[in-house]
């Protein structure tokens, strides 16, 4: 064996588990495996998890905060306007450098798969070419899935549909859209039809920014589910954000959720962004804005969490830590029940992995040896602490390590030196 990890806890509740790895794959999982390896890692009762997966991100904009100016209001619309101001000044090299820096951040935090929406409305397709180059460079250590995203509206922006098809032809993976940003509700519905028909024809997945609004009458998710059903796209279609659902009346939602489940539509919430951008027109009471995560899960609809933005025109914060995303999602959705908190951990690991269609993802024989050892005993503790990543492994090779969290105190009336685990 190349590596064996001893005495680990798994996210499904198993404890004292060994994991044997050879040639980049897991070959055995069980207690006290009678194997020898070139390297042994003592998990010492810590959580061994599959890698984190970010199902919704904008890597073409990441780390561009302050360019060409700061978003003074912090609002969605000013962020969109800022991005429009910045696009003419983008260079391919700057896009590549910022994206690669972010990928380094991601890997250090155990984030080894990202679905990034990339704006295709610039006829130069600078961001498209840049992100394809980034995808090539990071392939050994990170899965980067690219969405052809018409930020300014596929019908509203000149050449957007042509550019989207160009991006797909160049190697992009997913068809994107933003129906609520089209000029009319009718145009929004028409954009969903056009894009879903194109995806069906090309055998591609769909992921649309859908109803990122406080307007309860923004109901493009209904159209997206209808087109998914009509075209047989079950399991290949995702609605991202869905924040208008927060403001819809309960009766309408009671009809919408079964339609989404029947159509096999996935949902992605972006807790850090939804809680800051939505409800801006409210005084009090003020809406949270994030979509109805517990209700979607109860209806049998897969729900993942995305980071969405890190230090860009829309969001001046963020670090690529998906445990921070899960932590915010847990609070905003009031998901503090034991199983609900585990759902939030799954929303940044196994659920987005399934939505992205990642192959060989898991802690089982035959799976890729892509693993994260967390300084926590279980998923709930990992979220509570935003636990340190003791080890990040990709295809059986350790690519990042950090120490456990320790503290040394000197307190009156206590021994001079007291060592303790912060998470115990």
Q: What three-state secondary structure class fits 74?
A: coil
Measured CA to CA, the distance from residue 353 to residue 338 in angstroms comes to 22
Residue 368 is classified by DSSP as: B
Contact 343, 296 (CB under 8 A): no
State how beta strands 205-210 and 52-57 pair: unpaired
Measured CA to CA, the distance from residue 300 to residue 338 in angstroms comes to 18
Q: Quick one: CA dihedral 338, 339, 342, 348, positive or negative?
A: negative
**Contacts for 202 with CB less than 8 Å, ≥ 6 apart:** 168, 175
Which phi and psi (to 5°) does residue 109 adopt?
-100, 15
Contact 244, 223 (CB under 8 A): no
Beta bridge partners of 39: 3
Q: Is there a catalytic annotation at residue 212?
A: yes
Which phi and psi (to 5°) does residue 18 adopt?
-105, 145
Measured CA to CA, the distance from residue 53 to residue 119 in angstroms comes to 21
**Contacts for 139 with CB less than 8 Å, ≥ 6 apart:** none
Residue 68 is classified by DSSP as: S
Contact 239, 266 (CB under 8 A): yes
The total number of residues shown for the chain amounts to: 424
Contact 150, 157 (CB under 8 A): yes
Catalytic residue among 40, 129, 190, 212: 212
Q: What three-state secondary structure class fits 258?
A: helix
How many C-alpha atoms does 143 have within 13 Å on its Cβ side? 22
Which phi and psi (to 5°) does residue 38 adopt?
-65, -30
Which residues does the annotation mark as catalytic?
212
């Amino acid at each position: 064996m190349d590596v064996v990890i001893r005495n680990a806890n798994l996210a499904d509740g198993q404890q004292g588990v060994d994991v044997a790895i050879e040639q980049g794959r897991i070959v055995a999982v069980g207690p006290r495996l009678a194997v020898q390896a070139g390297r042994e890692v003592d998990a010492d009762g810590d959580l061994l998890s599959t890698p984190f997966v970010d199902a919704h991100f904008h890597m073409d904009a990441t780390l561009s905060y302050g360019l060409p100016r700061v978003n003074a209001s912090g609002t969605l619309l000013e962020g969109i306007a800022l991005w429009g101001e910045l696009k003419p000044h983008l260079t391919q090299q700057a896009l590549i450098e910022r994206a690669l820096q972010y990928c380094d951040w991601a890997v250090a935090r155990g984030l080894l798969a990202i679905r990034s929406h990339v704006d295709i409305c610039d006829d130069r397709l600078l961001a498209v070419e840049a992100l394809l180059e980034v995808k090539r460079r990071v392939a050994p250590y990170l899965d980067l899935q690219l969405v052809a995203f018409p930020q300014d509206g596929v019908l509203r922006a000149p050449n957007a549909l042509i550019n989207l098809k160009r991006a797909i032809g160049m190697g992009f993976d997913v068809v994107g859209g933003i129906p609520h940003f089209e000029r009319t509700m009718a145009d929004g519905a028409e954009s969903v039809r056009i894009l879903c028909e194109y995806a069906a024809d090309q055998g591609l997945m769909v992921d649309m920014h859908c109803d990122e609004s406080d307007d309860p009458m923004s109901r493009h998710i209904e159209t997206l589910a209808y087109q998914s059903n009509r075209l047989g796209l079950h399991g290949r279609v995702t609605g991202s954000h869905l924040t208008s659902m927060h403001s819809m009346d309960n009766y309408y939602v009671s009809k919408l959720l079964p339609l989404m489940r029947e159509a096999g539509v996935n949902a992605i919430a972006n807790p850090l962004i939804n809680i800051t951008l939505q409800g801006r027109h409210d005084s009090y009471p003020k809406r949270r804005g994030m979509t109805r995560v517990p209700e979607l899960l109860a209806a049998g609809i897969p729900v993942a969490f995305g980071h969405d933005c890190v230090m860009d025109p829309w969001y001046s914060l963020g670090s690529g830590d998906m445990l921070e995303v899960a932590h915010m999602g847990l609070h905003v959705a009031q998901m503090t029940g034991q199983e609900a908190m585990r759902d939030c951990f799954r929303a940044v690991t196994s659920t987005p992995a399934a939505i992205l269609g990642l192959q060989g993802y898991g802690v089982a024989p035959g799976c890729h040896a892509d693993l994260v050892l967390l300084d926590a005993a279980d998923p709930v503790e990992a979220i509570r602490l935003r636990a340190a990543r003791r080890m990040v492994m990709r295809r059986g090779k350790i690519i990042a390590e950090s120490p456990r969290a320790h503290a040394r105190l000197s307190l009156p009336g206590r021994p001079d030196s007291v060592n303790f685990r912060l998470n115990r």
